[in-house]
């Protein structure tokens, strides 16, 4: 992608404790992946899964978030990061956040994430657990019209 967008690439180098040490492309990638992790964690939580229980990434509070986000990373946020870095942005993190927001809406990423999560979990052909017999519905059910397309209605 560095060649495609005309960006000088020295590798993925950044210091999470010092934002300014990273070059513009690394700042853009960090901002872009952060946006993707946010929307992915929201989908995981909305679907009722644990963000920490990962399969590829392990031992972190967001391991499952990283697993799922990696599936979409190169078709969504990484191209955004390189495109913005190529434009020599004055505020790379802000410009990346706004571009990610637009791409998430355009590609309907939130709407696709929960089915993707369920597809990944079903890869082992394991059926989701049934609700226990003693479970009860919510005391105050949510109206069916609440939320946007990314919310589940089940």
- The answer to whether residues 52 and 64 touch, using CB atoms and an 8 Å cutoff, is yes
Length of the chain counted residue by residue: 154
127 in a structural domain = no
CA–CA distances in Å: residue 136 to residues 67, 99, 130: 32, 42, 13
The CATH number assigned to the domain holding 44 equals 1.20.120.920
Q: What is the pLDDT of residue 17?
A: 80
Tell me if 89 is assigned to some domain: yes
138 has a pLDDT exceeding 90: no
User: How many separate domains does the chain show?
Assistant: 1
Count Cβ atoms within 10 A of the Cβ of residue 69 and give its class: 0-12 exposed, 13-18 middle, 19 or more buried: buried
Distances (CA, A) of 89 to 82, 95, 137: 11, 7, 50
Asked, for residue 146, whether it belongs to a domain, the answer is no
Q: Residue 62: which domain range?
A: 20-122
Residue 11 falls within a domain, yes or no?
no
How far apart are alpha carbons 14 and 21 in whole angstroms?
7
In three-state secondary structure terms, 113 is helix
pLDDT, tens digit (0-9, with 9 covering 90-100), for 29-74: 999 999 999 999 999 998 889 999 898 999 999 999 999 999 989 9
Question: How does pLDDT run across 105-116, given as a tens digit for each residue?
Answer: 999 998 999 999
């Amino acid at each position: 992608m560095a060649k495609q967008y005309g960006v000088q690439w020295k590798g993925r180098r950044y210091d999470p404790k010092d934002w300014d040490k990273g070059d513009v492309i690394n700042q853009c990638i960090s901002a872009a992946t952060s946006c993707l992790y946010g929307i992915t964690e929201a989908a995981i939580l909305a679907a009722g899964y644990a963000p920490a229980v990962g399969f590829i990434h392990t031992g972190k509070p967001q391991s499952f978030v990283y697993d799922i986000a990696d599936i979409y990373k190169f078709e969504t946020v990484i191209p955004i990061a390189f495109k913005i870095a190529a434009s020599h942005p004055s505020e790379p993190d802000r410009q990346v956040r706004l571009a990610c927001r637009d791409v998430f809406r355009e590609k309907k990423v939130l709407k696709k994430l929960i089915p993707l999560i369920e597809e990944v979990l079903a890869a082992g052909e394991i059926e989701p657990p049934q609700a226990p017999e003693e479970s009860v519905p919510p005391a105050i059910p949510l109206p069916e019209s609440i939320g946007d397309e990314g919310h589940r209605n089940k």
